[in-house]
Amino acid sequence: MTTTKRAIWETYIDLYEEKPSYKITIKELCNRVPVARTTFYSYYQNLDELKDDIENYLIDSIKNCAQEMSEGDIYHMELAPFFEKVFEYIQKEQRFFTAFLLLQPNNSFIDKWKNAIELHFRKRYADKSHSANFNLIAAFAASGVIGGYEYWLKEPEKVNPQSFETVVIQIMGFLRKTI
């Protein structure tokens, strides 16, 4: 990623933290970066496309963590090291996650993340995917995991990453038994 593109992202989040997203303008964003509007338009057609690019980058990075940790075999992937790596990633990009999960909950981002978790769940438990309520249980798992990360972002001093991993793994085990 270019430094200019990253600067556009960072400035967008600065503005997102200050005001409702619908009040952010390209002109204001470009003045703050600072970049010419033509530079902005060389990357994006509009602010929705910018936000979509940030969302996709964050979700794709988490998916890549899963791919790297599993070497393509999600069924046998060790969950604790995966959650540790995701925690590290969320800490690295904490401003974006905090903005999209807590400050102005971004339904598009949350839905993309839920879909990624549900896909991971389907791959991990492919042998159970035709069971009754499988999709409902996958949705519960996705919502629960994201809810846990939201809680951690709100109350970081109250959440130990290892405890988080343990709880999620126990919940996943319970959900698998109910499938």
Model-wide pTM > 0.75: yes
Q: Distance (Å, rounded) from C-alpha 162 to C-alpha 155?
A: 15
Residues 131-136: contacts with CB under 8 Å, at least 24 apart: 131/179, 133/178, 133/179, 134/179
**How deeply is 124 buried, as exposed, middle or buried, from its count of CB atoms within 10 A (0-12, 13-18, 19+)?**
buried
Query: Is the distance from CB of 75 to CB of 81 less than 8 angstroms?
Result: no
Domains, the chain, in order of start with CATH, read 1-45 (1.10.10), 47-178 (1.10.357)
Helix spans in the chain (H): 3-18, 26-32, 37-43, 47-70, 79-92, 94-98, 107-124, 134-154, 161-178
User: What's 67's DSSP letter?
Assistant: H
Peptide bond before residue 20 is cis, with ω within 30 degrees of 0: no
pLDDT at 112: 98
pLDDT at 169: 84
Going residue by residue through the chain, which has 179 residues, state the pLDDT in tens, using 9 for 90 and above.
899 999 999 999 999 999 999 999 999 999 999 999 999 999 999 999 999 999 999 999 999 998 888 887 887 888 888 988 999 999 999 999 999 999 999 999 999 999 999 998 888 888 888 888 899 999 999 999 999 999 999 999 999 888 888 888 888 888 778 87
pLDDT at 15: 98
User: What's 99's DSSP letter?
Assistant: I
